[in-house]
Amino acid sequence: MSKARKPTPQKSIGRKPTAPAPKAPKPPAPVRDLLERPPVTTEADGRLRLWFWGLAGAGLLLLCVLAFGAGINADDKFQNAYSAKLINYYTTFGRDTSALNVPDGNMHLYGGFFEIVTGFANKALGFQESDMGYHHVRHLFSAFLGWVAIVCAALLARLIAGWQAGLLTLLLMLLTPRFMGDALVNPKDIPFAAGYMLTLYHMAALLQQMPRPSRWHWVGLVAGLGISLSVRAGGLLNFAYLFLFAGLFILLKHGWRGAFNGQILRRYATVVGGAAVAGYVIALLFWPFALQAPLANPWFALTKFSDLEIAIRVLYDGTNIKSNLTPWHYPLKWMGLTIPLAVLVGFAGTFLLLPRLLRRYQPLWIALVLFAAIFPVFYVIYKNATLHDGWRHLTFAYPPVAVAAGLFWNELLRLFASKRVARYAVVVALALLMADAVVFFARYPRISYLYFNPIAGGVKGAYGNYETDYWGISIRQGIEWLEKQGILRPDMNEVVVIATNMYYPAQQYLAKYGDKVSLKYLKWERRCDDAWDYALYPTRFLNGHTLKRGFWPPDNAVHVIEVGGAPILAILKDTTRNCALGTAALKLQDWNGAIERFQQEVKDVPDNEIAWGGLAQAYFNSDRTEEAKAAAEKALSISPADDVANNILGLYWLSLGNTGQAKNQFLGATKLEPGAPMPYYYLALIAQREGNTAEALKHLDKLLQLAPGFRPAYELGAQLYEAVGNAQAAQQFRQAAQQLQ
């Protein structure tokens, strides 16, 4: 008869004590009990656990399948170039230093975890950047990391309140279209969210098991710390969380006397400090820039990211503004309009049930969840950080929001556990609040990051007020349509010229056609600067007024990609080339030729604001000022920020001697399009005529910031400084003007 085997003890970190340690002072029993209280369990927990891991596995499979059909993120241009530099750095053992300073996008200030892992995977598989397999590898890894963030959020809810809370949180995360859509195509924010949630979950689980935590949670904590910091410098926040909540845990569990007990502190320092050091070292190994100065450079990168440095034009509340000028409520409003209603209600409800939650569960972990959700959002508001593309920079703060929501719905179900009707009512309410997000995700699974909730009126309600396809994911659908129509095919005899403002994704999809397709990068407002056959333009960077008034898609659109009843990408066709030829005539100062071409263009495409603006310019230079005014006003009715039309209208008022009206026109133009330099030039000229040299110099300074190569600005500067008696400055401006000739 065989002997019964003794149960194998769980492995823990550190050496086992050889002798009983002296008992440390304990805090009052109620405080200690709160920390040591396990999650509420029920007889159904075994079944719920199976449902949990079954759903988690199905979620991973779904994400992997969707990853193969996901579009290419326009920002991947920077990540992929950085990935190549990182691979060269490591394969040359640091001799290739191009990864240490990457001015294009400041990518060296980011850790290289994602780029290194996918870069070496693609290298091993033999994929080049022009191969779709290269992008599939990146999308698959991003999807996996998104799944890690989802599961860790659900496990944190399970740790706090049991398997039912974990299952509810898992459902809320898997049915959040924005997060699921980002998981397919976002190689910056999703990996950081994975590191963030790995840290939070394993930190809570590890501290819960102290003084003898399992190796699994210690390794998980190290991985979370290392991944988050090796993605972006904001990962330093996780180290601060670790020490803050470890200190609070010691204080609450052991009391003030125990908090200063040497043996206790040594044990915590060994486990917590060891995890912090190991995580930091791992992060450095994936970040060449940080390796050069392990303490100074991560902090330097963090300070640079507080303002993001890059300011781009964004659409917010129907107005196009610079991202560094967004109001304080920008992230809050975006989150309120794009998070599923069940999560919004659940998160708000957490505060209503907070006293009950704090009584029933470990209060420190409730505080951790709420702090991890709220602090990052309010910190960026406090710092007035530059944000764009909605709340994607705060993606990492969303899983804790979902955890809080999961705890709320779980507690409601427990509250009405003995009341069947009320319990069913809670389930129905949760289902109804999630229905909109579920339907949207089912209809648009590969581009679900465009989701807007019913508060915004869906994508259709948000159209013209907020950015939709800001990454240009729909470029893939546009090219697939051209292929279905036979416009793009392997046996093409003639070259097809395609224009777009989302060059990188289009370039990757069209690489298989070689020289049979000529791709041109043209901004929307410069789409007539060159000739093309077809053009692919998403709504990104378009004027909100143009979108809301129905002037987009334009009349020469042959196909429109729609999501949620709103157009997100237009495929244009140009057979006459009148707009491009008219623009070329303007450059040659062939005013009559330009008028002829633009007149034909506005006849064929009445809502082409570029043609109307070009026509106004040609009329004005032909001394047909009233016709110029009418054409400029037509252009501005389509796109109020059109810089050519605004300038022509300002010059029209100057030609009539109405300086005040002209000044108002140019000042209005600077607000509508802060990046346009010419209004500042005309404002400086007006101020010079009025004898206000100080104001003229102010406008000149702004002009040179926007257009440092504009020679007339230096000539004007020389005149202004001569007027104030600054001969040295005047001479410097003359020399600069001569160098630009």
Q: Please state the rounded mean pLDDT for residues 447-454.
A: 96
> Nearest 5 degrees, angle CA 632-CA 636-CA 641?
120
Q: Specify the pLDDT at position 40.
A: 56
Is 194's pLDDT higher than 90? yes
Residues 99 and 89: their CA atoms lie apart, in Å, by 7
Residue 426 lies in a domain: yes
Q: Please state the rounded mean pLDDT for residues 270-291.
A: 95
Q: Specify the pLDDT at position 22.
A: 47
Torsion of CA 388, 390, 396, 399, to 10 degrees: 180
Rg (CA), the chain: 30
256 and 175, same domain (yes or no): yes
404 and 528, same domain (yes or no): no
60 and 34, same domain (yes or no): yes
When pLDDT is cut at 50, 70 and 90, the band that residue 147 belongs to is very high
Q: Domain total for the chain?
A: 3
Residues 522 and 534: their CA atoms lie apart, in Å, by 12
Q: In which region does residue 486 sit, left (phi positive, over 0), alpha (psi from -120 to 50) or beta (all else)?
A: left
Residue 290 lies in a domain: yes
Whether 408 and 349 have beta carbons less than 8 Å apart is answered as yes
735 and 660, same domain (yes or no): yes
Of the candidates 283, 368, 310, the one whose C-alpha atom is nearest the C-alpha of residue 111 is 283
595 and 618, same domain (yes or no): yes
Whether 492 and 474 have beta carbons less than 8 Å apart is answered as no
Instruction: Return the percentage of the chain with pLDDT > 70, whole number.
Output: 93
81 and 153, same domain (yes or no): yes
Residue 470 lies in a domain: no
Q: Specify the pLDDT at position 541.
A: 87
**CATH number of the domain that 723 lies in?**
1.25.40.10
pTM above 0.95, yes or no: no
Residues 98 and 86: their CA atoms lie apart, in Å, by 8
Residues 608 and 591: their CA atoms lie apart, in Å, by 19
Whether 390 and 329 have beta carbons less than 8 Å apart is answered as no
Is 413's pLDDT higher than 80? yes
46 and 161, same domain (yes or no): yes
When pLDDT is cut at 50, 70 and 90, the band that residue 308 belongs to is low
Residue 1 lies in a domain: no
When pLDDT is cut at 50, 70 and 90, the band that residue 45 belongs to is confident
Residue 21 lies in a domain: no
Of the candidates 173, 121, 114, 125, the one whose C-alpha atom is nearest the C-alpha of residue 149 is 173
Whether 455 and 342 have beta carbons less than 8 Å apart is answered as no
In the chain, the N- to C-terminal Cα span, in Å, equals: 101
According to the 3-state scheme, what is the secondary structure of 412-436?
HHHHCCCCHHHHHHHHHHHHHHHHH
Q: Specify the pLDDT at position 39.
A: 58
Q: Is the dihedral of CA 586, 588, 589, 594 positive or negative?
A: negative
In three-state secondary structure terms, 364 is: helix
Is 67's pLDDT higher than 70? yes
140 and 155, same domain (yes or no): yes
412 and 428, same domain (yes or no): yes
Residues 396 and 605: their CA atoms lie apart, in Å, by 45
Q: Specify the pLDDT at position 724.
A: 87
Q: Specify the pLDDT at position 254.
A: 80
Q: Please state the rounded mean pLDDT for residues 281-307.
A: 89
Range with the poorest average pLDDT among 41-55, 212-226, 347-361, 535-549:
41-55
314 and 237, same domain (yes or no): yes
Q: Specify the pLDDT at position 1.
A: 41
Residue 328 lies in a domain: yes
Residues in the chain: 741
Domain boundary among 573, 598, 618: 573
Residue 662, token pair as written in the block: 């002209």
Domain boundary among 558, 573, 588: 573
Q: Please state the rounded mean pLDDT for residues 641-646.
A: 91
Q: Specify the pLDDT at position 24.
A: 47
Residues 6 or more apart whose Cβ sits within 8 Å of residue 575: 533
H/E element, 497: strand 496-500
When pLDDT is cut at 50, 70 and 90, the band that residue 486 belongs to is very high
Is 7's pLDDT higher than 70? no
Residue 459 lies in a domain: no
Tell how many helices (H) and how many strands (E) occur in the chain.
Answer: 34, 7
According to the 3-state scheme, what is the secondary structure of 557-572?
EEEEEEECCEEEEEEE
568 and 584, same domain (yes or no): no
Residue 37, token pair as written in the block: 């209280």
Q: Specify the pLDDT at position 522.
A: 96
Q: What is the pLDDT of residues 596-624, one digit of tens each?
A: 999 999 999 999 999 999 999 999 999 99
Domain boundary among 528, 550, 573: 573
Q: Which domain holds residue 692?
A: 578-739
Residues 386 and 374: their CA atoms lie apart, in Å, by 18
Q: What is the pLDDT of residues 87-130, one digit of tens each?
A: 999 999 999 999 999 887 788 899 999 999 999 999 999 999 98
- Strand ranges across the sheet with 557-563: 517-521, 496-500, 534-538, 566-573, 557-563
Please state whether the peptide bond connecting residue 677 to the residue before it is cis, i.e. omega within 30 degrees of 0.
no
660 and 543, same domain (yes or no): no
Residues 6 or more apart whose Cβ sits within 8 Å of residue 85: 96, 98, 99, 102
Q: What is the pLDDT of residues 152-181, one digit of tens each?
A: 999 999 999 999 999 999 999 999 999 999
Residue 457 lies in a domain: no
Is 5's pLDDT higher than 50? no
